[in-house]
Amino acid sequence: MKKVGFFKSIYFKFVLIYVLLILFAIQVIGVYFVRELEQQLVNNFTESINERIRLLVYNIGQEMKEERSGRTLQLEDKINLILQDFLSDDITSVQVADSSFRVIGISDPYNRGMIGRRTTEVRIKKAIIGGIESEKILLDPRTGNRMFVRAVPVKMNEDVIGGMYIIASMEKVYEQMRVINAILASGTIIALVITALLGVFVARTITRPIADMRKQALVLAEGDFSRKVNVFGEDEIGQLAETFNDLTNKLEIAQETTEGERRKLSTVLAHMSDGVIATDKDGYIILMNEPAEKMLNVSRETVLNTSILSLLKLEETVTLEKLFDSKDSVLLDFSDIFRNKYILRANFSVIKDDHGELTGLITVLQDVTEQETIDQERREFVANVSHELRTPLTTMRSYLEALADGAWENEDLAPRFINVTQTETERMIRLVNDLLQLSRLDSKDYQFVKKGINFTGFFQQIIDRFEMAKEDQFIFERAFSHRDRFVTIDKDKITQVLDNIISNALKYSPEGGKVRFELLQKENILHVRISDEGVGIPKSDLPKVFDRFYRVDKARSRKMGGTGLGLAIAKEIIEIHGGEIWADSEEGKGTTIIFTLPLDIPRREEDLS
C-alpha cells in the first residue's frame, strides 16, 4: 500500500484544523475587541477635547463680552494669553475670529501675522454664520496623522459674536491602538504556539490508536493475524480498538475455515478422476484441475482466459447461452486429434450468486472412451451373434419346411437336407460353445490347470497330429531346435490355441502352400511363430483380427465353418497365461501369428535356429 505523506495524514489535518479554529476564534475576538476599544478611546478623547473646548469657549466669550467697547488690542492679547494656557500636546492649533471673520487669536506663534486678517477657514465661517458646531476626524496631508477638527461658535445671549476652530492630534490614541494591536498579535502568536503544542498532544492521543489500527489493517491484508491493536482507553476509540481485535480473531477463524475448505476442495479437485473446468460469466476459463489438463492434453497456463467453446471445439455446434441453459451432457469426440478413439462426456452446471445472477460455468469431463467402446462392442456382438444364428436357423427352417412338405419321402433329397441341417446344427453348437467359453474367460469363472512341461516336445506333438491328418498339398517346416524349453501352462487351453492358429493357417493357405513353425527364446520369454503363405490380411485390419466375430473375408470364413471367435478365445487364453499375441501380415504373401509365454528358467541367449 502507498505510504501516506505527512501533509496528507490525519495527524497533520487534525493539528491544522485545531490551530485554524483557535486562530479564527482569536481573530473574531480580536477584531471585536479592537473595534470596541478604538471606539471607546476615540470617544474618550473627543469628550475630553470637547470639555476643554467648552471651557475655552466660555473664557474667550467672557473676554469678548468685556471688550465689546472696541478695545480690541487688549482683547487679542488676552485671547493669546488664554490660548497659551490652553495649548497642550493634544490640541495643536486654535484659531479665534470675531463675527466679522477677523482673526483675533491664534495659537501658532509662527503664524501671528494672521491676526487682524480675515480667516480663510470655511468651518469658522459656517460656525459664525449658522451658529452650528461641527466636528470631524481628518487625515493630515503633510504627516499622514489623524486629526480631530472642531468649529464652535462663540455666543453671547444667543447671539454669535465669533467663532473658534480647533485642531487636535489623535496620534496618541492610535499609538495606543498600535501598542494594543501589537500586544494582541503577540498574544495570538503565543496562543497559537501553545495551541499547536496542545493540538499535537491531542492529535497524538486521538490518532495514535487510529494509526495503530491502520498498521493492523495492513498486517491483516498480508494474512498475519498475530498482531493486536493496543487499547489506550475506555472511550469510543478504545471500544473501536477492542472491536477491531475481536474482528481480527473472527477473521482469523474465518480465514482458517476458508483455507481449510479451499485445501479440501483443492485436494478433491486434484485427486478426483474427472476433469473440472470453471469459467466466468463470459465463458473464459479461470480454473482447471490436473485431470482436465491430461484429458485435453493442454497446459493450465496456456488455456487460462481462453473460451470454453474454443477449448472443447464447440464453437460451430453450440453457443454459450445454450451451455448455460443446457441440462444434458455433451459427447466430445477427440479421436481425430489424438489419432485413436478418444471420447469425453461433458456435463455443464451454472454458478449463481446470492441474487440468482449467473457468475460462471462448471464443466465436468469424464473419459467415456472405454464405456463407449464397450457399448459399441456390445452392440456389434449382439448384431454378430444374431447374424451368426440367423443364417443357420434360416437354412434349417427352409430345409425342415421342405422335409415337412414331403421332401423326406425323396430318397435323393432327404439325406442331403438332413445332412445340411445337421451341419448347421453343429455349427450353432460350436458357436454357442465358443460364446460360453468366452463368457467364462471374461468372468474369470474358469480354473486353469497349469503344469510345467517341455514346450518343445509338446509343440512337436501338436504339429505331428496335424501333419498326419493333413493332405499332401501342404508343406510343414519346423524351424526350431530340439532344445528343452520349459513353461508352466494349461495344456488343454494352449492346445486349443495352437489348433485354432494352425487350422486357420491351413484354411487360408493355397494348395502346395508352406506352413512354418518357429520357437524363439529371448531372455525369459518364449516366442511361438506360425506362418502361412495365404492371402494375407490388409494392414488396416491387423489390429482387429483378434476382435470377436471379426473376419477379413466374411463370406469365405463362414463357408469354411468359422465362427469368428477362435482368435478372440486364443487372445484371452494367452493373456491369462501372462503372454501376448499379435499378427504380422503382408497382403498376398501370407500371415504370421506370434504369441509369447513366460519361460520357467530365464535365458539370456537368443535361439534363432
263 with 287, same domain: the answer is: no
Say what the pTM is: 0.43
Cα angle 184, 189, 193; round to 5: 145
Mean pLDDT, the chain, whole residue set: 79
How does pLDDT run across 21-50, given as a tens digit for each residue?
888 888 888 888 888 888 888 888 888 888
Are both 508 and 535 inside the same structural domain?
A: yes
Give the pLDDT confidence score for residue 526 in this predicted structure: 93
Average pLDDT rounded to a whole number, residues 444-457: 82
Residue that is written with C-alpha cell 463362414 in the block: 558
Domain boundary pick from 415, 442, 469: 442
Confidence of residue 7 (pLDDT cuts 50, 70, 90): low
Band of pLDDT at residue 556, cut at 50, 70 and 90? very low
Say if residue 603's pLDDT is above 50.
no
Pairing of β 581-586 and β 103-106: unpaired
CA-to-CA dists, residue 473 to 467, 518, 531, angstroms: 11, 21, 16
Do 474 and 593 fall within a single domain? yes
* Domain identity same for 542 and 586: yes
Look at residue 520 in the predicted model and tell me its pLDDT: 92
Clarify whether residues 167 and 108 are in a common domain. yes
Report pLDDT for 558: 46
Kind of pairing between the strands at 285-288 and 330-333: unpaired
pLDDT at 70 over 70: no
Model pLDDT, residue 607: 44
Verify that 430 and 466 share a domain, yes or no: no
The answer to whether residue 213 is domain-embedded is: no
β-partners of residue 168 are 91, 148
- Residue with the bigger pLDDT between 410 and 360: it is 360
Q: Is residue 217 part of a domain?
A: no
Cβ–Cβ < 8 Å for 98, 92: no
Please, which pLDDT band fits residue 420 given cuts at 50, 70 and 90?
A: confident
What does the CA dihedral 135, 141, 145, 149 come to, rounded to 10 degrees? -10
Rounded CA separation 486/194 (Å): 111
* Among candidate residues 402, 418, 442, the one where a domain is terminated: 442
CA distance 134 to 120: 16
Q: Are residues 354 and 469 in the same domain?
A: no
Residue 241 has pLDDT above 70, yes or no: yes
Mapping DSSP to helix (H, G, I), strand (E, B) and coil, where does residue 579 land? Answer: coil
**Is residue 165 in some structural domain?**
yes
The pLDDT value given to residue 568: 82
In CATH, what number is assigned to the domain containing residue 281? 3.30.450.20
Q: Parallel, antiparallel, or unpaired for β 475-479 and 514-522?
A: parallel
487 is a domain residue: yes
User: What domain count does the chain have?
Assistant: 5
Top pLDDT among 459 and 202 is at 459
Mean pLDDT throughout 4-12? 66
Query: Do 33 and 172 belong to one domain?
Result: yes
User: In this structure, which amino acid lies at residue 201?
Assistant: F
Q: Are residues 277 and 264 in the same domain?
A: no
Domain presence at residue 192? no
What pLDDT is recorded for position 248?
83
Range of the domain at 80: 11-176
Asked if residues 98 and 161 have their Cβ atoms less than 8 Å apart, the reply is yes
* pLDDT tops 50 at residue 559: no
pLDDT digits (tens, 9 = 90+) for 112-167: 777 878 887 888 888 888 888 888 888 877 777 888 888 888 887 778 888 888 88
Q: Does any domain span residue 401?
A: yes
pLDDT score at 471? 63
Amino acid 549: pLDDT = 67
Whether residue 301 is predicted with pLDDT greater than 70 in this model: the reply is yes
